[in-house]
């Protein structure tokens, strides 16, 4: 059993200010007995539409840079695992990666995932500023069992969560900044519940609130029940994640085992 801390907050444009708040949240989560502390997408800084690609790239860092290093130090000091996000430098001078990382209790980065599905939809074009990643990071063992990472728009692509479940994930952590808008909250809740139910796993989705985002950080259990819904306010929520519940659910509802993999490859051609 792992106690998950889910941080929901509104980032400013100033990463030093955000970093101060992030380290305070890590300390608070640890003090409340959490095993893992998770943060939303764009926790490093809010990027308004008026900010140019060059301006965003100028503030990006490497995984060994001061921003991630300070988060890792806080994880080590508080003896807690942390899933966070940052803008990572890419080989292109005018593009950055939207990157999630997982730091263990010693402050060591155990996993790095660069968002592969960029939000070029519904009037937005993340590809104007971001560079897509080119791999899905393998799940790693945490207090919440084998844990895989996704980011926001990835939730709309069931192939990704299924890939992580096939690789052994018990828990999917999806840092997000879900843009508010017509029917968007309904989409958000549905996507998180669907990814949990179809894979028989926990989904932990810390969400950015304020700015242009809707908040509503969620934790969903393997049967699709919502264990935590944080609404729109800032703060920390907590939920328990139990690998035993994953195993029990997958035994009762064996979706992964019941797939017809002998048939699916025959569908590689045009669907009639």
Quick one: average pLDDT of 191-212?
98
Q: In what order do the strands lie in the sheet with 96-103?
A: 109-114, 96-103, 81-89, 36-38, 2-8, 235-241
Residue 267: pLDDT band with limits 50, 70, 90: low
**Residue in the block written with tokens 């809707």:** 214
77-115 pLDDT, tens digit per residue, is 999 999 999 999 999 999 999 999 999 999 999 999 999
Please give the full DSSP string across 185-212, using - where no structure is assigned.
HHHHHHHHHHHHHHHTSEEEE-B-EETT
What one-character DSSP code corresponds to residue 90?
Answer: -
Residue 269: pLDDT band with limits 50, 70, 90: low
Active site residues: 41, 115, 152
Q: How far apart are CA 136 and CA 202, in angstroms?
A: 18
164-200 pLDDT, tens digit per residue, is 999 999 999 999 999 999 999 999 999 999 999 999 9
Q: Kind and range of the H or E element at 2?
A: strand 2-8
Residue bearing the bigger pLDDT, 251 or 268: 251
177 CB-contact burial (10 Å; exposed 0-12 / middle 13-18 / buried 19+): buried
CATH number, residue 228 = 3.60.110.10
In a domain, 21, yes or no: yes
Task: Give phi and psi for 238, each to the nearest 5.
Answer: -135, 145
Strand pairing category for 96-103 and 109-114: antiparallel
* Rg of the chain on CA atoms, in Å: 18
Statement: residue 118 has pLDDT above 80: yes
In a domain, 272, yes or no: no
Give the chain's mean pLDDT.
96
In a domain, 142, yes or no: yes
Residue 36: domain span? 2-267
Evaluated on CA atoms 224, 227, 232, 234, the torsion sign reads negative
In 3D, which of 178, 220, 216 has the Cα closest to residue 197?
220
Q: Kind and range of the H or E element at 214?
A: strand 213-214
In a domain, 61, yes or no: yes
Beta-bridged to residue 176, according to DSSP, are: 207
In 3D, which of 3, 35, 50, 40 has the Cα closest to residue 18?
40
Quick one: average pLDDT of 243-252?
98
What one-character DSSP code corresponds to residue 232?
Answer: T
In 3D, which of 54, 88, 56, 159 has the Cα closest to residue 117?
159
- Token readout for 229 is 């819904």
Task: Give phi and psi for 79, each to the nearest 5.
Answer: 55, 55
Query: Are 10 and 39 within 8 A, CB to CB?
Result: no
Q: What is the pLDDT of residue 49?
A: 92
In a domain, 18, yes or no: yes
Q: How many CB atoms lie within 10 A of CB 185?
A: 15
Q: What is the pLDDT of residue 262?
A: 87
How many domains are contained in the chain?
1
Residue 64: pLDDT band with limits 50, 70, 90: very high
4-37 pLDDT, tens digit per residue, is 999 999 999 999 999 999 999 999 999 999 999 9
- Please tell me whether the overall predicted TM-score, pTM, comes out greater than 0.85 for this model: yes
**Residue in the block written with tokens 């998950």:** 4
């Amino acid at each position: 059993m792992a106690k998950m801390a889910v941080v929901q907050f509104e980032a400013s444009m100033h990463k030093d200010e955000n970093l101060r708040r992030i380290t305070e949240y890590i300390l608070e989560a640890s003090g409340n007995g959490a095993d893992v502390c998770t943060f939303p997408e764009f926790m490093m800084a809010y990027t308004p539409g008026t900010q140019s690609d060059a301006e965003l790239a100028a503030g990006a860092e490497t995984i060994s840079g001061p921003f991630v290093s300070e988060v890792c130090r806080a994880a080590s000091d508080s003896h807690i695992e942390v899933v966070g996000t940052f803008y990572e430098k890419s080989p292109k001078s005018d593009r950055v990666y939207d990157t999630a990382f997982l730091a263990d209790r010693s402050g060591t980065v155990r996993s790095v995932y660069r968002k592969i599905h960029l939000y070029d939809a519904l009037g937005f074009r993340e590809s104007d500023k971001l560079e897509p990643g080119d791999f899905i990071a393998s799940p790693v063992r945490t207090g919440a069992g084998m844990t895989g990472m996704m980011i926001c728009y990835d939730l709309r692509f069931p192939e990704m969560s299924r890939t992580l479940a096939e690789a052994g994930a018990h828990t999917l952590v999806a840092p997000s900044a879900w843009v508010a808008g017509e029917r968007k909250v309904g989409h958000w809740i549905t996507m998180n519940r669907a990814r949990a139910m179809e894979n028989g796993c926990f989904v932990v989705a810390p969400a950015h609130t304020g700015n242009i985002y809707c908040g509503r950080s969620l934790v969903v259990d393997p049967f699709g029940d919502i264990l935590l819904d944080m609404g729109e306010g800032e703060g920390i929520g907590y939920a328990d994640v139990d690998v035993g519940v994953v195993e029990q659910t997958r035994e009762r509802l064996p979706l992964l085992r019941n797939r017809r993999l002998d048939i699916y490859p025959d569908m590689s051609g045009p669907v009639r």
